[in-house]
Amino acid sequence: MFEKFYQKEPPKDPITLLAEQHKTDIEKIKKLKCHYASKIEMILMLLGEKPASTFALTSKDDSAETIAKTLRDAGLKVAIETKEEKYHSLIIARDQSSIDKIQALHQIQRKKDEVYQEQYGELVGYPKTATAAFAGKIPSMGEKESWKLDPTLIYSIIYSKDHWQEEIKLMRKWTETIKKYAPDLYEEALKKRNM
């Protein structure tokens, strides 16, 4: 009879535990001045959903140093790449090894090269079939068709024609993670998508 009063709560999933641990960090990331899609990437990395990402900063964004400090304080690894003194891009990852691999890839490959596209895609957590489709090695659905598959997604990639059902599961997972732990960013991204 008393068993129901003493039942333990079910264990929390790893993402929920990370979200609770990084609640303050998530709020700090949301307050950064940079593109909402960049903030989504940062939060996905913080919650263990993505291994790495890169993005360019504009003159309207916070400085590279400000963003890097916020992310480092949260436990992420950051490298700042400088272009023409004024322009910066960031490489962000959960571990230094991923930063090193992306930096090495940037040094030896051209970004339009299919080998670069595949290797980069895998380093930032995209499915191998999707990176192969993006690189043109296997048939893709194309960007417009990819977005039409699910109107609730705020995150999408170019899917392969033969494996899109598996690939879209990851995009749904990433979208649901943001919807749950950063609902205001989810709403902003969904609004921009539907404009």
pLDDT digits (tens, 9 = 90+) for 74-96: 999 999 987 766 788 999 999 99
Question: How far from the centroid of its chain's Cα atoms is residue 187's Cα?
Answer: 17
Q: 53: part of which helix (H) or strand (E)?
A: strand 52-56
pLDDT digits (tens, 9 = 90+) for 116-172: 888 999 999 999 999 999 888 999 998 888 888 898 999 888 999 999 999 999 999
pLDDT digits (tens, 9 = 90+) for 98-114: 999 999 998 877 666 77
Domain assignments of the chain as residue spans, ordered by start: 13-193
